Amino acid sequence: MQKVSSQQGLKFINQQKILNLIYNESPISRVELAERTFLTQQTVTNIVNRLMEDDLVMERKSTAGSRGRRPVPLVINSGKMFAVGVEVAVKYVSAKLIDFSGNVINRSKYEVDVFKEGEETLACIQNAVNKILKSIPKKSELKGIGVSIQGLVDSKQGIVMNSPGLAWKDFPLVEKLKETFDFPIYIENDVNLLAIIENQKGSLMNSENNLVLKFDHGIGGSIINNKQLYVGSSHVAGEFGHIKAFSGSEAYKCHCGAMGCLTTLASNSGLIKNIEVTLEEFTSRVREGGEEETKLLETITNAIGVALGNVVTFMNPDEILLTGKVIELLGDIVVPQLEEIVHTNVPESCRNIKLHHINKPLDESILAGKLVIKKYFDVPLEILSLK
Ligand SMILES: [Zn+2]
C-alpha cells in the first residue's frame, strides 16, 4: 500500500466508510450515514457531494411522507462503474466486463489445448481483457480487474506461487499485468474467491465460520474464520485434497509425494491417474449400476465423510459448502451420505453443522469481477496499522 499522511489516510477511510454503507445498506440518507459513522452532518455532506461529483453515488427520488419530505435516499451509481473479471482455467481464459449491478456488458474467451509457458498464459489474459475494454465509455469508470486462478496464490503480494496447469511457478502476475493495464488488479485462488463472495452476499452470508470445498479436476478448500479468509502461514491452508484418507490396496501415491491422499481417488485427476477412467465415464458407470464403480464410490464417499467429520470436530465451523464437477455430477448420491457420515462421526456439540452444495458451478469470471466490486468498497484497515 502506498504511503499516505495520517490526515489523507483518515479522509480516505471516512470516504470508504460512507461508500461502504451506501453500497451495503442503500437506500440510506445523509442523516443515517452521520448516525452510523459518528461523523458530523457537514463532513458527511462534503463527502457525499464529492462522491456525487465523481459519479459514484446518486440521489434517488425521495418519497413524500405524511409529515413533509423524507430525507433523500442515496444509492451507488452502479451503471457508471465497471469491473473486469477473468477466469484462468487449464484450457481457457474467459473475461467478462460487468457493471456494479452485476450485469454482463461484454465477454471474450480464448481456448487452448495446453498452456506451455507462463508468458503464453499471460498473453491470453491480456488479449481477452483488451478485447472487452473497448466497451467502456470512459476509462475512469473501470474500477479494476479481478483474476480467478486454479492454484496456489499469494493474493497480497500478487504472485501465483504454483499452478502447473497454467504453467506458473512464483509468477508475479499482478506486476506483469500492471505493465499493460493501469487499473487496480486483484488475484485470488478460485476456491478462496468463491468463499469470499459467498460469505459477503451469497449462500454463506449468515455464517461466521465455514469451509468451502471444491471437488473437481483436483480438490481445493477454503477456510473462513470469523468472516475472514484464513490462508495459513504460507498460503496453503485448506488443502483438503491432501488429507490422508485411503489405506491398504486403495492407497495410491499422490503427486505431493505422500500416499493415500483424498485427491488420489476423490477427484477427476485422481480417477484418471489411478483407475484410468474420467469422472464422466465413472459417473455413467455408476448410473448404469456398475458393481465395481458403485463400490468404489462408496469407498470414496466414506473417505470424504470421515475427513469432513475430522475437520468439523477440529475446527467447529457452522457451515460447509460443497462444489465442483464431482458434486455437480454425483451430488444427489454423495451429499446425503456425507451428511449422515458427518453427523454420526462428530461429537454432539458439533452437530449443528450444516452441509449444502452447489449443483451448477457459478461463473468464475463474474465472481472475479465481484471481487473488484468488494475491494472497491472495502474500508482498508491496514492503513491504520503500524506496519
Ligand atoms: Zn497429496
254 alpha carbon – ligand 1 mean position (Å): 5
**Quick check: is 387 in a domain?**
no
Beta bridge partners, 320, equal: 211, 355
Mean pLDDT of 185-211: 95
**Taking Cα atoms as reference points, which of 79, 69, 81 lies closest to residue 31?**
69
243 alpha carbon – ligand 1 mean position (Å): 7
Quote the pLDDT of residue 297: 98
**Taking Cα atoms as reference points, which of 329, 346, 334 lies closest to residue 277?**
329
Quote the pLDDT of residue 382: 57
Share of the chain above pLDDT 70, in %: 95
Whether the bond between 184 and the residue before it is cis, its omega within 30 degrees of 0, is no
Quote the pLDDT of residue 95: 98
164 alpha carbon – ligand 1 mean position (Å): 15
Question: How far is the C-alpha of 205 from the C-alpha of 351, rounded, in Å?
Answer: 20
184 alpha carbon – ligand 1 mean position (Å): 35
pLDDT-based confidence at 387, cuts 50/70/90?
A: very low
Kindly tell me if the per-residue pLDDT of 192 is higher than 80. Answer: yes
101 alpha carbon – ligand 1 mean position (Å): 40
347 alpha carbon – ligand 1 mean position (Å): 27
Of 44, 61, 76, which marks where a domain is finished? Answer: 76
252 alpha carbon – ligand 1 mean position (Å): 10
Cell of 344: 454420526
Kindly tell me if the per-residue pLDDT of 5 is higher than 80. Answer: no
- Give the CATH number, domain containing residue 225: 3.30.420.40
Q: What is the maximal distance between C-alpha atoms in the chain?
A: 79
* 3-state secondary structure labels for all residues of the chain: CCCCCHHHHHHHHHHHHHHHHHHHHCCECHHHHHHHHCCCHHHHHHHHHHHHHCCCEEECCCCEECCEECCCCEEECHHHCEEEEEEECCCEEEEEEEECCCCEEEEEEEECCCCCCHHHHHHHHHHHHHHHHCCCCCHHHEEEEEEEECCEEECCCCEEEEEHHHCEEEECHHHHHHCCCCCCEEEEEHHHHHHHHHHHHCCCCCCCCEEEEEECCCEEEEEEECCEEECCCCCCCCCHHHCECCCHHHCCECCCCCECEHHHCCCHHHHHHHHCCCHHHHHHHHHCCCHHHHHHHHHHHHHHHHHHHHHHHHHCCCEEEEECHHHHHHHHHHHHHHHHHHHHHCCHHHCCCEEEECCCCCCHHHHHHHHHHHHHHCCCHHHCCCC
Quote the pLDDT of residue 381: 66
The separation between CA 268 and the C-alpha centre of its own chain, rounded to angstroms, equals 21
153 alpha carbon – ligand 1 mean position (Å): 18
Question: Are the C-beta atoms of 383 and 9 separated by less than 8 Å?
Answer: yes
Which tens digit of pLDDT belongs to each residue from 272-325? 999 999 999 999 999 999 999 999 999 999 999 999 999 999 999 999 999 999
Question: How far is the C-alpha of 28 from the C-alpha of 379, rounded, in Å?
Answer: 18
**Quick check: is 386 in a domain?**
no
- Give the CATH number, domain containing residue 48: 1.10.10.10
242 alpha carbon – ligand 1 mean position (Å): 4
Look at the block and give the residue holding cell 452476499: 201
Share of the chain above pLDDT 90, in %: 81
Quote the pLDDT of residue 234: 85
The verdict on 141 and 252 lying in the same domain is: no
The verdict on 330 and 211 lying in the same domain is: yes
Mean pLDDT of 103-125: 94
Kindly tell me if the per-residue pLDDT of 235 is higher than 60. Answer: yes
Quote the pLDDT of residue 386: 43
Measuring CA to CA, how many Å separate 215 from each of 53, 97, 125, 373? 47, 28, 25, 27
Question: How far is the C-alpha of 370 from the C-alpha of 151, rounded, in Å?
Answer: 20
The verdict on 88 and 162 lying in the same domain is: yes
Question: Are the C-beta atoms of 210 and 227 separated by less than 8 Å?
Answer: no
109 alpha carbon – ligand 1 mean position (Å): 32
The verdict on 52 and 100 lying in the same domain is: no
**Quick check: is 118 in a domain?**
yes
The verdict on 208 and 301 lying in the same domain is: yes
Mean pLDDT of 203-229: 95
Quote the pLDDT of residue 63: 65
The domain total for the chain is 3
Range of the domain at 349: 204-357
307 alpha carbon – ligand 1 mean position (Å): 14
Quote the pLDDT of residue 158: 97
The verdict on 248 and 328 lying in the same domain is: yes
Pairing between strand 354-357 and 74-76? Answer: unpaired
∠370-109-79 over CA atoms, to 5°? 35
Question: How far is the C-alpha of 299 from the C-alpha of 265, rounded, in Å?
Answer: 9
> What's the chain's average pLDDT?
92
The verdict on 218 and 287 lying in the same domain is: yes
Which tens digit of pLDDT belongs to each residue from 322-373? 999 999 999 999 999 999 999 999 999 988 999 999 988 889 999 999 999 9
The verdict on 15 and 66 lying in the same domain is: yes
The verdict on 148 and 94 lying in the same domain is: yes
The verdict on 278 and 307 lying in the same domain is: yes
**Taking Cα atoms as reference points, which of 335, 77, 79 lies closest to residue 215?**
335
pLDDT-based confidence at 66, cuts 50/70/90?
A: low
The verdict on 72 and 101 lying in the same domain is: no
Higher pLDDT residue, 3 or 123?
123
